[in-house]
Structure 1
Amino acid sequence: MTVEQRRLLTTEIPGPRSRALHERKGAAVASGVGTTLPVYVERAGGGVVVDVDGNQLIDFGSGIAVTTVGNAAPRVVEAVQAQVAAFTHTCFMVTPYEGYVAVAEKLNELTPGTHDKRSALFNSGAEAVENAVKIARHHTGRQAVVAFDHAYHGRTNLTMALTAKSMPYKSGFGPFAGEVYRVPMAYPYRWPTGPENCADEAFATFVEQVHAQVGEQNTAAVIVEPIQGEGGFVVPAPGFLARVAEWCAAHGIVFVADEIQSGFCRTGDWFACEFEGVVPDLITTAKGIAGGLPLAAVTGRAEMMDAVHTGGLGGTYGGNPVACAAALAAIETMQADDLCGAAKRIESTMLPRLQALAEKYGSVGDVRGRGAMLAVELVEPGTSTPDPALTAALSAACHREGLITLTAGTYGNVLRFLPPLVIGDDLLHEGLDILDAAFAGHA
């Protein structure tokens, strides 16, 4: 790797050059575009991000689960350089090219299920979700879509309607798209009668509410994240997803798995729904698909995908040839370097350390996740009352010491960890040491 794989602090965080750039941002960029950690990046590779002041930070965020194969991954760089030199754009809907077809073939092969599949490529996760809803509605002739509490599906008008959290994603942006209904998530830590009852009661509530408030015959799709992302890395109670998928199949409803944050080896499987053998009708992907380039997809049952009339799906930049080249190289890296195995190894290192924090500090209400998609939920000790202030303080303490961390959760009280799957053990342990010190100083 061209970036030295060690943490190095040469200035305070953020340093003077980053602060100067941040002043320029304030004068040039809309204030609605926020920044978690205002260190301005010059280079990145593996598990390290280098800022303009020469600081080298440990990356526990991966650009929100995007640089799964590491930043500037060698195969991705080589493929992108070759494609840029050949051509950068023609629009697949005008004059197509092999890269798009090859990515679709890979997605059809890798996604769960042995049934005949088709794929369509887009630019962002929100676009993928919107198109999954379009496909489900066209296939079924129905309109209603059911989503879950704590869900995050994007920032466009339709996906804001599907997203549960108001601030900052929805506040002031309505009215939203109609025929979207919300039901409770099987959230074990916060289920009122306890985690042991969560799966059964959540499923019964789901069935009752869809039947009474929507009607099975009116429901086009149920969309769910197999592990919720922005909602706080909520892992549904065991068996819940499989029962929802079976119920959907029994009623002719399209079961959509939103794997935008959890897909591509992140959880130790290619896709999180594989853990319980759940086979979705449609699956949406983005983030980790292309090593940092913008690409997204909907993959699903051929009869559903092909139900849409010619010209009904697409977009000028969808399946851009450079992004397709990056995706093929990223997938090759995941396969050649066994990044599913790497995610499991990261879990085996991180999870015991996070569980040790829970044993030591009453402020850790829950530790959860899978693979390299892990989180701690922070509460006021002795209660389940969310503590977003402590969460922010812990994250800020990590930032000052050169560890990139992210927060999440409906209540803003979850620290989430998404290290690149190529991160070295030394960096992983050092990052966890920084986290330990942050807890010692604030919790």
Structure 2
Amino acid sequence: MSEQATSTDPEDEVVRICRDLIRIDTTNYGPDVAGPGEAEAADYVAAQLREVGLEPQLFESEPGRVSVVVRIPGQDRERGGLCLHGHLDVVPANAEDWSVPPFEAVEKDGCIWGRGAVDMKDMDAMILANVRRMARDGVVPPRDLLVIFFADEEAGGDLGSHFLVKEHPELFDGITEAISEVGGYSVTVPTPEGGQQRAYLLQTQEKGIAWLTLTAQGRAGHGSVPNDDNAIVHLAEALTRIAAHKWPREFIVSVRELLDRLSEITGTAYSDEDLDELVGHLGGAEGFVRGTLQDTANVTMLDAGYKHNVIPQHAEARVDCRYLPGHEEDLLATIRELAGDRVEVRVEHSDIAIDAPFEGDLVEAMTAALTTEDPGAEILPYCLSGGTDNKALSLLGITGYGFAPLRLPADIDFAPMFHGIDEKVPVESLRFGTRVLARLIDTC
């Protein structure tokens, strides 16, 4: 499974480790389906840590759901520590949809392709390469460094980050801040002079999560007989109302600051009602930003019926809702009203919205690490429309940021590859991110 380790240079190791991890199929189908992949990936990570003299701990919440933890003591044990964390699981990939096999880590066109290349085995590899470097070179970080590779993030983290926070909170003693996935990647935007400016999106906020099941009940019957109590129809009407609903816009702090600073860089004016041109400058990241302008509700799964000529008595749909800070109760009330009396709304999983300040020593250190490697770059705050394991850590008072640093080519459509098809990460972006992360953890 593992490629031959021929170099201990972190920039070479990050490529090897990323490919090794992608080749381990860690698909997470949900809490009731545990494959061998997550445990295999955890064993791989643990072996890589032990090889350089570290002593990781493995925590198995349920069979096959394994998280890896190692703590590196810092120079100042009294100072609040930093948690550097990633997740080892990935969302499913239908190989027929891909142009390359999703679990072979094909390297072509200067990129590593495969499920997890973007979310988030690229960052896992950057973390692991840097921790191995520190152990080999005897680097002692300025403060305690808690390194965790979580299981189960893609199903909400109940068997990963939330499990550790609830059952083993002592692991996080003294930890005050955390960094993880999604933020830190670059976008290239136009300037008024006709040039281009690279900007890095540093994630400071996350929307909350509400994963819902909508169930409609009706009268079963023969497909040839008129039926005015059809469960599928009841459900379809509810979903149509939900899809047509216009959620009101609200500009939270990070979104407003992102838009204002982007307007200054590009010279593009905008209003709260008309910002299409402005956010269009963000390329593939536009969707993530649009997702933070209001609450959202997207239908993701349907299940109804079992034979062509039988009207079923019930039908179900799954809806992925994401809400802005403070909106959870209003969102659920709105969904229930839109669903109507014939459809039951059940919350399957929920998690909080989180907020971190775009200021302070850690933000300054992340900014310095990026601009040292990429002089002249702009650093912009943004809110993540999805969610990360920082939600669980926030329950212990840990302030979390999204910072997986990648300097990307201007023409790569990066953000849509999260949970998308043909994920790929440029090799040079991995090398860049490894250098940036080294500067950060060695100095902050």
| TM bucket normalised to smaller | under 0.3
Greater share of strand = 2
Q: Which has the higher helix share?
A: 1
TM-score by length of 1: 0.22
Compare CA radii of gyration and give the structure with the larger one: 2
